[in-house]
Amino acid sequence: MDNIRVILWALFASLLYISYTVWQQDYAPAPIPQTVENETATAAEQQAANLLPPAGSADLPAAPITAAAQPGGQTAGGKPAPQAAVIQVKTDVFDLDISEIGGSLVRADLTVYPLAKDQPDIPVRLLSSEADSFYQLRSGLRNAVQSDKPEATHLATFGAAKNTYEIGADEELVVPLLWENDGIRVEKTYTFKRGSYAIDLDYKITNTGTQPYPMFSYLQLQRLFKPVERSMFNVDTYSYDGPVVYDGDSYEKLDVDDLLDEPLTATYVNGWLAAIQHHFLTAAVPAPDQPANFNAAFDGKNYTLTSSSPVVTVAPGQTETVSSKFFIGPKLQGQLADTAKGLPLTVDYGILSILAQPLFWVLQQVQKLVVNWGWTIIIVTFLIKLVFYKLTEASGRSMAKMRKLQPRLKALQDRYKDDRQQMSAALMDLYKREKVNPAAGCLPMLVQIPFFIAFYWVLLESVEMRQAPFMLWITDLSSRDPYFVLPLLMGAAMFIQQKLNPAPPDPVQAKVMSILPVVFTVFFAFFPSGLVLYWLTNSVLSILQQWKINKTVAAESD
């Protein structure tokens, strides 16, 4: 029984090591795949251009698009692409560009989120036309039957009333685009709402001709794939960076190497496609409650995600509308939930989401009152300690009694040092007579392990804590302490806490226990400072509680 604390400390370290190992398996950089070079369009580019047939019409041929624009200002055949005019849109959260070619979203800066704490004037950029960071959201309409007819695809030229739009006092900003050809008039409208990162996309299709017009809409996300160089000094590299898909019920991260060999093709209802990274994402969300064909492919350079909606036939003289959404921005869980079912799953708390989600909710409620996230962490740690107070009090009393028994335990060990079986029997008899359970002190640690891991993922994944300051030198609770002050204080607190508890009778075990605060100080030095603040606060509260219990037990025995 004397070994139980050492075993549990080892278990604690093992769980952290397992978490790191699983993270490595899930998120470690994949080998850079060989780029497929060809003077003509690659397979994935052709697949992106020759869009899937609409949902429910798998027998319909997909009309080819022959000159899909490629990153770096070139067409698929390697010829220079014409420079398209852009429409600049500014809202309270966006500064983005819409290309007149296809009405595609080709640049998006998140003006509220600086790229780095020390560079407040440089915003996070998600969408870009630059060759080394190519990332675009496209959309369009396809003719479901006749491939030789003009189409309002992401290669068609749209007109705009002006080249600059800026949100004013109104709650929303509407940006209309117009395409008209061969008796078909298409009004493509983006709607931006104040404070929102969700963008509504609506098509109004008017048939002024004499023949029915069967068409389907599509959404497409294309991004340059750059394997992430993992570093324990940069928390942005801890999270998954790549394509994901939601099938209406479950969420899946897509391996780009697998897509190179076998592209994804499926039909989902209430599904969506997205590209995620640490704290941010872009998502393409088709209209809800109807089937959509989904495709994901990788050509060795770019991954392309496409959804195609069911056919809508516009009769002569009639008008039809189709709607969908894009999301470009931070993983704000409230906005994600309002945008699409399942989209909050992109905030990946891992296997302990069942603890992390309510823990984050509590943190949010407290933060609304105290504003500062650092004080929020301290208060929530106190609340967790309060919830488990009775449990820790019982174990603390057991530990205090064990501490009082230390001289007698040492005497028994000296008496039976050559007979371990007899010594174990004598120790068990002493525990029984004194009504002491040596294992009781380990239960709180077992309880804390899942909360610790859940807290870790909440602090790491929640964009609300990105660059959130605490006080003094702690300017970002989601990154490590730059001066390692918190880890050193935490190590000192663990050392004091250890001295308040009974030492293992075995000298080897005692040495191992004395080294643990040093080991954990080094280990925690590279953790987010918010997590270290949580563990430091927990250790200080444990010290105060154990000190009080030790005094109470000592007074009861006098």
Ordered by start, the domain boundaries in the chain are 42-77+85-348, 374-393+442-557
Token readout for 514 is 């004395």
| Best CA proximity match to 91, nearest among 190, 157, 188 | 190
Entry pTM: 0.78
- Residue 381's CB: how many other CB atoms inside 10 A? 21
- 351 DSSP assignment: G
**Checking DSSP bridges between strand 94-99 and strand 86-90, what pairing results, if any?**
antiparallel
Name the more confident of 398 and 223: 223
> CA–CA separation, 491 vs 493, rounded Å?
5
pLDDT for position 286: 95
Phi-psi region of 139 (alpha: psi -120 to 50; beta: other; left: phi over 0): beta
261-289 per-position pLDDT tens digit: 889 999 999 999 999 998 999 999 999 99
103-115 per-position pLDDT tens digit: 999 999 999 999 8
pLDDT for position 96: 95
pLDDT for position 63: 35
| Best CA proximity match to 159, nearest among 85, 70, 94, 69 | 85
pLDDT for position 163: 92
- Point out the least confidently predicted range of 68-77, 335-344, 347-356, 479-488: 68-77
| Best CA proximity match to 408, nearest among 426, 395, 432, 435 | 426
- 34 DSSP assignment: P
> CA–CA separation, 350 vs 336, rounded Å?
18
State mean pLDDT over 361-369.
92
Between the CA of residue 153 and those of 72, 159, 248, 295, what are the distances in Å?
20, 13, 26, 17
pLDDT at position 478 over 50: yes
- CATH for the stretch 42-77+85-348: 2.70.98.90
> CA–CA separation, 183 vs 316, rounded Å?
9
